[in-house]
Amino acid sequence: MDSTSAVFLCFATLFISSVISISDHSLLVYKNCANRTFTTTAPTLTSLFQELTAHSNQSKFFKHTESTDDDEISGVYQCRGDITNQECHSCVNTLPDISKTMCRESVAARVQLHGCYMRYKLEGVDSDYSGKKRLLHKSCGEGGGSINGGVGGFEEMRSAAFGVLESGVVSGEGFCKTRYELIDVMAQCEGGLGGCECGECVSSAVQVAEEECGGSLSGEIYLAECFLSFAYHPDDESHSDEEQRDKKGSDGKKLAIVVGGAAALFFGFIFLLFLKSWGKKDEY
């Protein structure tokens, strides 16, 4: 599949209702907290949080650095490409409290929710999420596929879906969400990551998914600068067949109504002609 087709699939899917509800955007996926903490209170961190959340109703990606004579803290947030700015703001707005609760006064942290993430670090601190392709979190669903003899051709279908995904993020400004046959796939790179670099990051995530998740029917892979998710929906095939049968049945009924109506009009017309002709005979 060429890149143009892949991009069309990705953006066409943005008009389809999201599987994840709005309320689920703020569900925690994972968190990484540095062991080292601030020796004193961190007003600079509070200012950073305020600056980041203030921009979240205008943009889905934003970087900022807060500096004082003693500290310099850099931070970034990003929202998923398929949610609105309002949903983005709602999601990001929950991140500071979650970070403070779970990571306390860590000098570096990353909190990932379903709809957004935020990370920050104190200047000079080595964080656990350094390295663009570093694996931060993975989640593999129930087994299946050809490895376990569950779903014939599943891995081939998933590989093809991943191929569409890799093409889509390169030409689709770092975000792609689409369906290939019975598999939903989604990927996103951190804002500012170039097309080729984004494609390489997603390719690395694909490799991790194939190696770590094996024949799992669903999974999520989070690297430092990109993530991907996939989910197999076998029930949709039967639903699709039912819809086709319903559609054919409906079309058949419509055709019968049209044909029946046309026949009634035809015979009615003949009957009127007969009456008219009979009336003329009576005049003579």
Q: How confident is the model at residue 133 (pLDDT cuts 50, 70, 90)?
A: confident
Is the pTM value of this prediction over 0.85? no
- Are 93 and 187 part of one and the same domain? no
Q: Which pLDDT score, from 0 to 100, does residue 94 have?
A: 96
Among 67, 87, 122, residue at a domain's last position:
122
Tell me the β-bridge partners of 75.
64, 120
Q: Nearest 5°: CA angle at 202, between 200 and 203?
A: 60
- What CATH number should be reported for the domain holding residue 213? 3.30.430.20
Q: Please give the Cα distance from 164 to 170 (Å, whole number).
A: 10
Q: How confident is the model at residue 14 (pLDDT cuts 50, 70, 90)?
A: very low
Q: Would residue 176 count as lying in a domain?
A: yes
Percentage of residues of the chain with pLDDT beyond 70: 69
Are 125 and 45 contacting, i.e. CB atoms less than 8 angstroms apart?
A: no
Residue 112: count other Cβ atoms within 10 Å of its Cβ.
Answer: 22
Q: Which two tokens stand for residue 185?
A: 């796939």
Mean pLDDT (the chain, rounded): 79
Q: Please give the Cα distance from 191 to 78 (Å, whole number).
A: 7
Sheet of strand 108-113, all strands in order from the earlier edge strand to the far edge: 28-33, 108-113, 116-122, 72-79, 61-67
Q: Please give the Cα distance from 115 to 29 (Å, whole number).
A: 10
- Are 141 and 115 part of one and the same domain? no
Distances (CA, A) of 1 to 9, 160, 174, 177, 271: 11, 9, 18, 16, 60
- pLDDT beyond 60 at 111: yes
- What is the span of the domain harbouring residue 185? 135-235
Question: Which residues lie below 8 Å from residue 193, measured CB to CB, with a gap of 6+?
Answer: 132, 174, 201, 225, 226
- For the stretch 162-205, pLDDT in tens is 999 999 998 878 999 999 999 999 999 999 887 889 999 999 99
Q: Would residue 103 count as lying in a domain?
A: yes
- pLDDT beyond 90 at 160: yes
- Are 78 and 170 part of one and the same domain? no
Dihedral pair phi/psi, residue 109, rounded to 5°: -160, 155
Among 56, 87, 122, residue at a domain's last position:
122
Q: Would residue 254 count as lying in a domain?
A: no
Are 71 and 46 contacting, i.e. CB atoms less than 8 angstroms apart?
A: no
Stretch (H or E) spanning 119: strand 116-122
- Are 223 and 165 part of one and the same domain? yes
- Are 168 and 106 part of one and the same domain? no
Q: Nearest 5°: CA angle at 133, between 131 and 137?
A: 100
Sheet of strand 135-140, all strands in order from the earlier edge strand to the far edge: 135-140, 218-223, 226-232, 183-189, 175-180
- Are 79 and 141 part of one and the same domain? no
Q: Would residue 244 count as lying in a domain?
A: no
- 90-94 own/partner pairs: CB under 8 Å, 24+ apart: 90/22, 90/25, 90/26, 91/25, 91/26, 91/56, 91/115, 91/116, 92/52, 92/53, 92/56, 92/116, 92/118, 93/53, 93/56, 94/26
- pLDDT beyond 80 at 51: yes
Q: Which two tokens stand for residue 266?
A: 């035809």
Question: In sequence order, which ranges of 3-69 are alpha helices (DSSP H)?
Answer: 3-13, 43-55
- Are 50 and 142 part of one and the same domain? no
Q: Average pLDDT, stretch 16-32?
A: 68
Among 67, 92, 122, residue at a domain's last position:
122
Q: Would residue 263 count as lying in a domain?
A: no
Based on the structure, what is the number of domains in the chain?
A: 2
143: left (phi over 0), alpha (psi -120 to 50) or beta: beta
- For the stretch 206-242, pLDDT in tens is 999 999 998 899 999 999 999 999 999 887 654 444 4
- Are 180 and 204 part of one and the same domain? yes
Provide the CA 192 distance to its chain's centre, in angstroms.
Answer: 19
Q: Would residue 283 count as lying in a domain?
A: no
Q: How confident is the model at residue 274 (pLDDT cuts 50, 70, 90)?
A: very low
